[in-house]
Amino acid sequence: MQNSIKTPREFFDRVVTPDWEELKKNPHDVRIAFHASISLHQLRDWVFKAYLKGHLNFPQYCEDLCHRCSDLKVIGDLASNAKHFPPNPKRAEKMEVGVSAAPTNWGDPTAIWGVAHWEKTERNQVIAQKDDGSKQWMIPIIWNAYSFWEKEFLNNGW
């Protein structure tokens, strides 16, 4: 078999990173946001099974990850909404995912380098709304989760 993905690093480089790069170019695309969330969420399985299976159990590992990067919980919720709509309420919060105009002013969480267009005051971005009415911009959350994993790979030499 050619071009197979066998390691967490290969999965990160060849699946997660291209999803993130595509989302940066298309921050208004719900499909790409779902794909990026799913690949980021699945990365924990790859890492756990490759490096940590003998050291702790999977639920403990997932809980630790969410303590270290709270955006991973939101990533998991978004991934569950993409895969199991509506998601199991014991495992993820139901979210309505769509697009809205996001501010791109410096200092605003939606104004992320490589995503925002500085000549515009706002640009459409993916947003998720929970049943309680609260909303979260997904680009900063996906960026934070991606950055977390990037540091994990660097710090652990994976």
pLDDT digits (tens, 9 = 90+) for 12-27: 999 999 999 999 989 9
Task: Taking residues 120-131, report their average pLDDT.
Answer: 81
pLDDT digits (tens, 9 = 90+) for 42-80: 999 999 999 877 777 888 898 999 999 999 999 999 998
pTM for this prediction: 0.86
CA dist 73 to 10, 52, 94, 142, Å? 23, 20, 13, 11
* The pLDDT value given to residue 142: 96
Give rounded-to-5 percent helix, strand, coil for the chain. Answer: 55, 15, 35
What are the residue ranges spanned by the domains of the chain? Answer: 8-111+125-156
